[in-house]
Amino acid sequence: MSGDAVAFIGDGMAAVVRAVSEVERLAGQRPVVVGGLAVLCRLTQPYRATTDLDVVDRPVDATPLLEVLRRAPETRTEVPEAVWLPTPLGDVKVDVLTVRQIEIDRPSDDAGDRLFASSHAWAHDSATPVAVSAVQADGTLVTARTLVATPGPLVAMKLQAATDRGAAKQGTDLQDVVRLVLDPDLSSTLLDQLAGCPDQLAADISLHAEGWFVRNRSTTLRRIHATAGEDVTADDLALTAELVIDACNR
């Protein structure tokens, strides 16, 4: 489901939506949502649920969001950069992905580190408002309005994130990439975003896409299939690679 209003069902999703509102209350501003919830908000047909909340922060003059959340008496610190936030439906893990300006001004020589900083900064700066809601098992409707990463930055972030993950998380991240790129209602906008992003960012996205969907295609397919993605085919991976790499070609 994509657009400026999305709805989910279940107590787990309702807890995550409640956590969005709690982060806004503690921080005094709407968080920028990335990760699994952002993917679910953007897809035409969400294919999985999520139980945690990922947000991106670009602190300049303000106190870093992670520090704000950790100061709150109701939260519990989780390493390396997360807190557990209580909701009426259970605690939700909130991961804070922080991008510092120096990482943008002085890019790393490592393509993965560079893509982490640039893709998360892009996600932060281009996020758009989305009204998110979830229906609890007892019929209670939970709603929040927040900022959500758009499809192009999500693909860039997911390609980088898979590099640092275990096999199961890699499978989920890479399945997210395939479903975002091949979503008929998203593909055109997503590819336009990739085509319009800065040259170095495009080169790093292309490098990661080639690695996952060309050089290591068979491994990627196995890991996607191991995360309930049995309907994804080798042809889907080939098409994903072709579309992303072509869009990033300069």
Q: In whole angstroms, how far apart are CA 189 and each of 38, 77, 195? A: 16, 38, 10
Copy the structure tokens of residue 244: 């992303």
Same domain, 17 and 141: yes
- Cα separation, 90 vs 16, in Å, equals 9
Same domain, 50 and 86: yes
Query: How many of the other CB atoms lie within 10 Å of CB of 222?
Result: 12
Same domain, 159 and 145: no
Same domain, 93 and 173: no
- Cα separation, 135 vs 215, in Å, equals 42
- Alpha-carbon dihedral sign for residues 155, 149, 107, 160: negative
Same domain, 156 and 145: no
Q: How many independent structural domains does the chain possess?
A: 2
Instruction: List residues bridging with 200 in a β-sheet.
Output: none
Same domain, 97 and 141: yes
End residue of a domain, out of 149, 172, 191: 149
Same domain, 142 and 163: no
**Contacts with 50 (C-beta within 8 Å, 6 or more apart), sequence order:** 12, 13, 16, 35, 36, 37, 40
Each residue of 89-124: pLDDT tens digit?
A: 999 999 999 999 999 999 999 999 999 999 999 999
Each residue of 11-49: pLDDT tens digit?
A: 999 999 999 999 999 999 999 999 999 999 999 999 999
What is this structure's pTM? 0.95
Quote the domain boundaries for residue 101.
Answer: 5-149
- Cα separation, 143 vs 8, in Å, equals 10
End residue of a domain, out of 118, 149, 180: 149
Residue 232 one-letter amino acid: V
Strands of 141-148's sheet in order across = 5-9, 128-135, 141-148, 32-34, 53-57, 92-98, 82-85, 76-78
End residue of a domain, out of 134, 149, 164: 149
**pLDDT tens track, the chain, 250 positions:** 455 889 999 999 999 999 999 999 999 999 999 999 999 999 999 999 999 999 999 998 889 999 999 999 999 999 999 999 999 999 999 999 999 999 999 999 999 999 999 999 999 999 999 999 999 999 999 999 999 999 999 999 999 999 888 888 999 999 999 999 999 999 999 999 999 999 999 999 999 999 999 999 999 999 999 999 999 999 999 999 999 999 999 8
Over the Cα atoms of the chain, what is R_g?
17
Same domain, 94 and 189: no
**Contacts with 10 (C-beta within 8 Å, 6 or more apart), sequence order:** 49, 134, 135, 136, 137
The values of phi and psi at residue 137, to 5°, are: -60, -30
Same domain, 121 and 160: no
Q: Are 35 and 50 in contact (CB under 8 A)?
A: yes
Same domain, 144 and 160: no
Same domain, 25 and 118: yes
Same domain, 37 and 127: yes
